[in-house]
Amino acid sequence: MPDTSVHEGAYNYAYLDEQTKRMIRRAILKAVAVPGYQVPFGGREMPLPYGWGTGGIQVTAAIIGRDDTLKVIDQGADDTTNAVSIRRFFARVAGVATTTRTEEASLIQTRHRVPETPLREGQILVFQVPIPEPLRMLEPRETETRTLHALSEYGVMQVSLYESIARHGRISKSYNYPVMVNGRYIMSPSPIPKFDNPKLDRSPALQLYGAGREKRIYAVPPYTPVKSLDFDDHPFEIETWSECCAFCGSKESFLDEMIVDDAGKRMFVCSDTDWCQERQGHHQGQPSK
């Protein structure tokens, strides 16, 4: 086992020092005050690589407390390696209770999905964000995108949706689908499937978004309107499947497609493992310490 013990005692609660946490909280407050606006923050080097959730981890580390119960998911599942790794990290440096049950969590850190179980007031959802700038693929320069947001010059985004319809007959964006927050800022909801976008609209929970490598934090306070961009005559639509979950029979959740054998046989299973377990009547163990 690697010996980090000599230095372990020197790590503050939840790894980050108090000054850093304060700095991040200030950024979070600014973000909450201006929903959808990307607040630059002094992101720190973390023990996990950039691109692997350092932004989400810093946001969580800044707000987590001993009374919290933490759930961590990746692709909707609690047991994917990245989710396991991050959950272990916080169990070690913050000594918090962890859970796989959405209902029991006070703080949920997620990569690329929103839990199927509707969230309550008082819960916080922390998103891991790779590219916080929704206009990035249309305009690579940050100096320009910053200006576009400041001046509400969003023509270029609408043009890209128009173009998609002209080319494909429909808006072909399927994940990281851009939204208008509180009628003012266009925001990237992180690479969640568009299936999850409606869950963001007027959610009772607080949504926090952390991009560690790009060093931006943004937020959507509870009950804020979040509208997926579209055209009046090409309204926003979510994905549907003709199949249902092979384990629990759900027809309303996002399904993962699994290739089961060499012949290419497929099986469809809920991506949200907790949701699936609940429906099957399997309750997860008690929150662990």
Partner 1 sequence: MSTVPLLQARDVTKHFGGRIACRDVSFDLWPGEVLGVVGESGSGKTTLLNCLAGRMTPDAGSVGYASAPSGVVDIHGLSEARRRLLTRTEWGFVNQDAREGLRMGVSAGANIGERLMAIGARHYGDIRGVAADWLDQVEIEPDRLDDRPTTFSGGMRQRLQIARNLVSNPRLVFMDEPTGGLDVSVQARILDLLRGLVTNLNLSAVLVTHDLGVARLLTHRLMVMQGGRVVEDGLTDQVLDDPRHAYTQMLVSSILPV
Partner 2 sequence: MYVAVKGGETAIAHSLDLLADKRRGDRGIAELSLEQIDQQLGLAVDRVMTEGSCYDRTLAALAIKQARGDLIEAIFLLRAYRTTLPRFGDSEPLDTSRMVAERRISSTFKDVPGGQVLGPTYDYTHRLLDFSLAAAAERPDAPTAPAHTATSLPRVGDILEREGMLEPPPASTAGEAQDLTRQPLVLPATRPVRLQNLARGDEGFLLALGYSTQRGYGNNHPFVGEIRFGSVPVSFVPEELGFAIEIACIDVTECDMVNQFAGSHDVPPQFTRGYGLAFGHAERKAMAMALVDRALRAEELSEAATSPAQDEEFVLAHSDNVEASGFVQHLKLPHYVDFQSELVVVRALRAAVEARNQEAALRQAAE
Helix pair angle (54-63, 18-33), 10° resolution? 100
Extended strands (E) in 52-195:
69-74, 97-98, 107-111, 124-128, 179-181, 185-187
User: Site for partner 1 (CB under 8 A): how many residues?
Assistant: 19
Query: Cβ of residue 138: shortest distance to partner 1, in angstroms?
Result: 10
If binding is defined by CB under 8 A, does position 166 make contact with partner 1?
yes
| Residues contacting residue 181 through CB under 8 Å, at least 6 positions apart | 35, 36, 187, 220, 224, 225, 226
* Range in contact with partner 1 (rule: CB under 8 A) among 148-156, 173-181, 243-251, 255-263: 148-156
> Choosing among partner 1, partner 2, none, which partner's interface includes residue 239 (Cβ < 5 to 8 Å by kind)?
partner 2
If binding is defined by CB under 8 A, does position 234 make contact with partner 1?
yes
The smaller minimum CB distance to partner 2, of residues 207 and 273, is found at 273
The smaller minimum CB distance to partner 1, of residues 69 and 164, is found at 164
If binding is defined by CB under 8 A, does position 168 make contact with partner 1?
no
Give the integer Cα–Cα distance in Å for 75 and 65.
25
Contact with partner 1 (CB under 8 A) among 33, 150, 259, 260: 150
* 103 within 8 A of 272, measured Cβ to Cβ: no
> Choosing among partner 2, partner 1, none, which partner's interface includes residue 108 (Cβ < 5 to 8 Å by kind)?
none
In the complex, the residues that contact partner 2 under the rule CB under 8 A are 2, 7, 10-11, 17, 40-47, 49-52, 54, 74-77, 79-85, 88, 111-113, 130, 140-143, 168-170, 172, 174-176, 191-195, 213, 215-216, 239, 241, 254-258, 260, 267, 271
> Choosing among partner 1, partner 2, none, which partner's interface includes residue 233 (Cβ < 5 to 8 Å by kind)?
partner 1
Which residue type, as a one-letter code, is found at position 167?
R
* 99 within 8 A of 288, measured Cβ to Cβ: yes
Which of positions 74-113 make contact with partner 1 (CB under 8 A)?
Answer: none
Instruction: Report the greatest alpha carbon distance in the chain.
Output: 63
Q: Which of 257, 178, 188 is nearest to 219 (CA)?
A: 188
Give the integer Cα–Cα distance in Å for 129 and 153.
23
> Choosing among partner 2, partner 1, none, which partner's interface includes residue 153 (Cβ < 5 to 8 Å by kind)?
partner 1
Query: Cβ of residue 219: shortest distance to partner 2, in angstroms?
Result: 17
* 247 within 8 A of 234, measured Cβ to Cβ: no
> Choosing among partner 1, partner 2, none, which partner's interface includes residue 79 (Cβ < 5 to 8 Å by kind)?
partner 2
* b/e per residue 78-95 (b: at least 16 CB within 10 A): beeebbeebbebbbebbe
Residues that bind partner 1 (CB under 8 A): 147, 150-151, 153-156, 158-160, 162-163, 165-167, 231-234
